[in-house]
Amino acid sequence: AALLSRVAKIEASGYEVIGWVDGDPGHGRAFRFKDPFEHVFEIYWETQRYHAPDVEKPALKNIAQRYHGRGAAPRRLDHLNLLAANVEEFRRFMETCLGSRVTEMIQLENGRIGGCWFTVNNKTYDLACTEEHGAGTGRFHHLTYATDQREDILRAADIFLENGVHIETGPHKHAIQGTFFLYIWEPAGNRIELANSGARLILAPDWEPVVWTESERKKGQAWGLKTIETFHTHGTPPVE
């Protein structure tokens, strides 16, 4: 019922609808639609729960499987960041189609919104959108994996260094959302972030977005690290 109710809102929104698909491995029937910038979204209800085989059963039954701790060893997916030519329009799309709330945002001096951080639950954000500076359409900025603690990210930086993985920026602490971060490019060119958020939660139902000015953002990250140029221009797929 919740899925059909949300689909009805999307169909009435005026945004582009792709329609129903039978579902990918792991979930059932799904509904697809597009934002104004050619990103494809999908919502579904029926989910196939993972059940670990005997050899992977954990000591504690309230986790998915035993912990191996190989490589960077992130715990879960945390959020993703998309690029859009008009972040304000993307915000309207997210609020209309997915009922999202904005927790933090950047207000530029030219009147545009430079970035928005969205949540559909009590987490500070599970999707972000920042302004496209690379003349692309429907592009991806980064995907983030969460670690248990900051030290995991420092260890991961050494693992990436030893394996020839390009470290773009960090480790450092974001001003927006306060996450401790490390950005790398995986071999295909997609930007990947490892982050530790400190489990910030938005529990107030009447939360007002935190607004950052352009001058505040030009000061750099929380401890003064300047944002490098590629962070504004690099996205995937690359622009021809």
Of 211, 205, 186, 36, the residue nearest 113 (C-alpha):
211
Residue 26 lies in a domain: yes
Average pLDDT over residues 232-240: 92
Which amino acid is residue 71, in one-letter code? G
54-63 pLDDT per residue, tens: 999 999 999 9
Q: What is the CATH number of the domain that holds 156?
A: 3.10.180.10
Average pLDDT over residues 91-118: 97
Q: What is the domain range of residue 88?
A: 76-233
Q: What was the pLDDT predicted at 179? A: 93
Sheet holding 127-131, edge to edge: 166-173, 180-185, 191-196, 140-146, 76-84, 127-131, 113-119, 101-107, 210-213
**pLDDT > 90 fraction of the chain, expressed in percent and rounded:** 88
Of 100, 110, 90, the residue nearest 209 (C-alpha):
100
Sheet holding 17-21, edge to edge: 17-21, 30-34, 40-44
Q: What was the pLDDT predicted at 62? A: 93
Residues 116 and 182 placed together within one structural domain of the fold? yes
Any idea which residue has 């248990």 for tokens? 148
pLDDT of 98 over the 90 cut:
yes
Any idea which residue has 């996205």 for tokens? 235
150-205 pLDDT per residue, tens: 999 999 999 999 999 999 999 999 999 999 999 999 999 999 999 986 668 999 98
Do the Cβ atoms of 54 and 76 come closer than 8 Å?
no
Mean pLDDT of the chain: 94
Q: What was the pLDDT predicted at 199? A: 61
Residue 55 lies in a domain: no
Residues 96 and 214 placed together within one structural domain of the fold? yes
- Per DSSP, helices labelled H in the chain are 2-11, 87-98, 150-162, 214-217, 230-233
Residues 106 and 25 placed together within one structural domain of the fold? no
Residues 6 or more apart whose CB falls under 8 angstroms from that of 53 comprise none
3-class SS of residue 32 = strand
Q: What is the DSSP string of 189-216?
A: S-EEEEEE----B---TTPPPEEEEHHH
Residues 134 and 227 placed together within one structural domain of the fold? yes
Q: What was the pLDDT predicted at 198? A: 60
Domain total for the chain? 2
**pTM metric for this prediction:** 0.93
- Residues facing residue 43 across a β-bridge: 31
Residues 15 and 111 placed together within one structural domain of the fold? no
Q: What was the pLDDT predicted at 135? A: 86
Measured CA to CA, the distance from residue 72 to residue 157 in angstroms comes to: 8
